[in-house]
Structure 1
Amino acid sequence: MKFAVSLSMERFSPETPMKSVLGNMLELVKLADTGGFETLWTAEHHTIECTISPNPFTVLTWLAQHTDRIRLGTATLVAPYWTPIRLAGEAALCDHLTGGRLEFGIARGAYQYEFDRMAGGIPQQEGVAYMKELVPAVQKLWAGDYAHDGHYWKFPLATSVPKPLQKPHPRIWVAARDPGTFDWAVANGANILSTPLSAPAAEIAVLGEKFRKAVADHPHVPRPKFMMQRRTCVYAKPDDWQVAVQHSMDYGRTFENLFQNIGTVTNGFPEAVPFDTVKGRDNYNPESIRKNLMFGTPDEVIEKLLDYEAAGVDQYCLGLSFNLPFELQKNTLRLFAEEVMPFFARRERESTRLAVAGE
């Protein structure tokens, strides 16, 4: 199992200057690069200060100039906000500007607040239909001349300019939680991005079974990669859990505002809605959050990660962007790289040794 980091530029107060936001993001990405993380993922969002990334390709191009080896991924692009020709060209150019390090992650979208401003107010659930039309069109544009006559887009013969640096194109990743999206993604040769959100550990196995079934149902397709993400905080002492849990609870109430479109957003800053309006209130129980999310000492985190390994996860992604204090984010990356990742590297070496020996 390999490891990745998901980061967004975060601003929760107008008193926080963008210079600090940019500096913090860059410092964390450099730590991930030198720490041996496989991929840095960043999202697309609009009009929201707590996730600043109107074009993740721009962010990744900037980060590529300050890193050496880490892969740079979009997790995720929001399908209804793009057109096929524009997306194909921008992604291909980013692939060149990052030296062939782009990972192309896409999703239907999550925030109804954004859909009301970026996608004409369509229900965010409809985003999956846009994604299923968009991704094959982008692939064909990357390959050469292609004319499209679809439900959402129509255009005469055109191609992507430039073509991607990676051949035949960057790896495609699709965000999935329901079985239909798993099946469609695997059938189309895409890798899977998923998350158990705040659900108990049993949800990890449920998602793993959806992945295994999709793979088994398409035996002609090479096995794709499977990434799973959770909010993560690693600390030295067991009693240090309260800060991470409180920030997760507060951030969750902000997410509910945007997801359900039930609160106010003032000058880009969403309010945290009251607890009596949130869905899944058990997910806001402090002990449940501490247990379910990737919060713990290095030893506790290793124990939790074994569930992801057992579910067939190829890449576990640390979700660090939930207004966690900057020093705690840095410490999480340091402890994870120094005390957690070596454990799994040893397991991989031992597994390889046994395979070579035929044991």
Structure 2
Amino acid sequence: MARSQKVCTDVNNESVEGMRIGHGHFFQNLDGRSDHEVWRTEMALADAAEGLGFDSVWAVEHHFAGYSMSTDPLQFLTWVAGRTTAIQLGTMVSVLPWHDPVRLAEHICVLDHLSGGRLILGMGRGLARQEFDGFGVPMDQSRELFDRYAADILDAFESGRIGGVELRPRPLAPLRGRVYASSISPASAETLARVGAGMMIFLQKPWEQTIGDVERYSEQYRLHQGSEPPKPMVVVFNACHEDRSAAGDLYEQIVAYYRSTIDHYGFADPAMATIPGYEYYGNIARSIEKNGRETFARFLADLQPWGTPDEVIDQIRETVRRTNAGGLIVVSAFGNLSSEAALANQKRFARTVLPALNTTREVSR
């Protein structure tokens, strides 16, 4: 069977091949560029990823704002599938409460067939109020909807049925073993473990809290699944340059990204904590009130590896050690980076950092 047709039912077999390193796509437009230019940049980055030695391509789901214009990650990944042969294709994440679960299961199934089983499903329950309002979905129901839809979709890829109907084409392979869910609030750990999903970590907390979340998730996974949990996937932003001053300029763009994150998610709004299922975010609002928005944005940016290639390699290794990560998703376009800067950022990481993290890959230069 050709590699492009191999059904990839386990994305955690990194012990032989080394770290699994994917490339992530946010489709961010903060500076008034045309949306078309932003999309062409992300398409070019995805087009280059396989040849540069990345294992996978990942796309987020967001709506209604320049914060991220990736409204249909499965559609984007279908385009990537048609232009690649081996690279895996991940959603980072598909937000389940915003979808009809039967229709979403069909879309997932079709992409899995088109790509020869290269899909990795990342799931989430959503966080931005305006996105819930835009879809007419009550935000206070997100946890309940996520729990139900996640179980229904994962079960469907084993039974072939969802919501009383049959999935056709029939599922190519189960999703369990290649499914992740984003985890920020502590209560998410039990949900992830119960449905059998791996943990996708966006670095947005002090390290001791992130480590505690991983430990809590691992305990819950053993309890619910009776086996060791899959290793987490960690999302990082790429601010690597041989010239440390230039690396500092890239770091400032990460700060710009996090300023936009505070605005998009309403992190400074204490009313977030009054929405059932989002009580944790009251802590963030209190931190911003105490320390200021800029301090919080820079705190988040400082969690990312940045600097010279050697510094980035060391910081990534420390991130992997702290989280017991099995893989990374590396984002190269963010903030106000131009198309040229984003493409150079991706290629520089592939040339200077990727070989040190995964010595078995041939990297095109």
- TM bracket (short chain): 0.7 to 0.9
User: Residues 178 and 290 of structure 1: is their aligned pair in 2 closer, same or farther, counting only changes over 3 Å?
Assistant: closer
User: Residues 5 and 204 of structure 1: is their aligned pair in 2 closer, same or farther, counting only changes over 3 Å?
Assistant: farther
Q: Is the Cα contact below 8 Å between 1:176 and 1:182 reproduced in 2?
A: yes
Instruction: List runs of 5+ in structure 2 lacking aligned partners.
Output: 1-18, 270-286
Q: CA deviation at 1:298?
A: 0.9
Question: Which of 228, 233, 238 in structure 1 is aligned with 2:239?
Answer: 233
Moved more, 298-307 or 111-120: 111-120
Aligned-partner Cα distance in 1 for 2:24–2:177: 19
Aligned-CA RMSD value? 3.0
SS at match of 1:104: strand
Q: Is the Cα contact below 8 Å between 2:157 and 2:174 reproduced in 1?
A: no
Question: Which of 317, 327, 342 in structure 2 is aligned with 1:329?
Answer: 342
What TM-score, normalized by structure 2, do the two folds share? 0.78
Moved more, 220-229 or 202-211: 202-211
**1:134-164 deviations in Å (ceiling 9; x for gaps):** 011113333446575xxxxxxxx21222223
Question: Which of 125, 133, 136 in structure 1 is aligned with 2:151?
Answer: 136
Aligned length: 324
The answer to whether structure 1 residue 181 and structure 2 residue 188 are counterparts is: yes
Aligned-partner Cα distance in 2 for 1:91–1:254: 30
The answer to whether structure 1 residue 338 and structure 2 residue 351 are counterparts is: yes
Aligned-partner Cα distance in 2 for 1:33–1:279: 43
Q: Is the Cα contact below 8 Å between 1:201 and 1:307 reproduced in 2?
A: no
Q: CA deviation at 1:313?
A: 0.3
Q: CA deviation at 1:169?
A: 6.7
Instruction: List runs of 5+ in structure 1 lacking aligned partners.
Output: 149-156, 264-276, 350-359
Matched residue, 1:305 = 316
Q: Which amino acid aligns with 1:238?
A: R
Question: Which of 35, 41, 44 in structure 2 is aligned with 1:27?
Answer: 44
SS at match of 1:217: helix
Q: Is the Cα contact below 8 Å between 1:253 and 1:278 reproduced in 2?
A: no
**1:314-334 deviations in Å (ceiling 9; x for gaps):** 012213342233333223322
Aligned-partner Cα distance in 1 for 2:69–2:155: 30
Q: Is the Cα contact below 8 Å between 2:153 and 2:162 reproduced in 1?
A: no
Q: Is the Cα contact below 8 Å between 1:294 and 1:301 reproduced in 2?
A: yes
Question: Which of 239, 259, 270 in structure 1 is aligned with 2:265?
Answer: 259
SS at match of 2:86: coil
User: Residues 229 and 281 of structure 1: is their aligned pair in 2 closer, same or farther, counting only changes over 3 Å?
Assistant: farther
Matched residue, 1:273 = none
SS at match of 1:206: helix
Q: Which amino acid aligns with 1:110?
A: L
Moved more, 95-104 or 6-15: 6-15
Matched residue, 1:317 = 329
User: Residues 111 and 145 of structure 1: is their aligned pair in 2 closer, same or farther, counting only changes over 3 Å?
Assistant: same
Q: CA deviation at 1:261?
A: 8.5
Q: Is the Cα contact below 8 Å between 1:9 and 1:52 reproduced in 2?
A: yes
Moved more, 23-32 or 101-110: 23-32
Moved more, 135-144 or 202-211: 202-211
Question: Which of 179, 182, 199 in structure 2 is aligned with 1:172?
Answer: 179
Alignment of 1:56-71 (within 5 A): 56-71=73-88
What TM-score, normalized by structure 1, do the two folds share? 0.79
Percent identity of equivalent pairs:
22
Q: Which amino acid aligns with 1:320?
A: S
Q: CA deviation at 1:56?
A: 1.3
Alignment of 1:1-359 (within 5 A): 1-16=19-34, 18=36, 20-123=37-140, 126-144=141-159, 146=161, 148=163, 157-167=164-174, 171-197=178-204, 199-218=205-224, 220-260=226-266, 281=291, 284-285=294-295, 288=299, 291-310=302-321, 311-323=323-335, 324-346=337-359
Q: Is the Cα contact below 8 Å between 2:257 and 2:334 reproduced in 1?
A: yes
Aligned-partner Cα distance in 1 for 2:60–2:120: 12
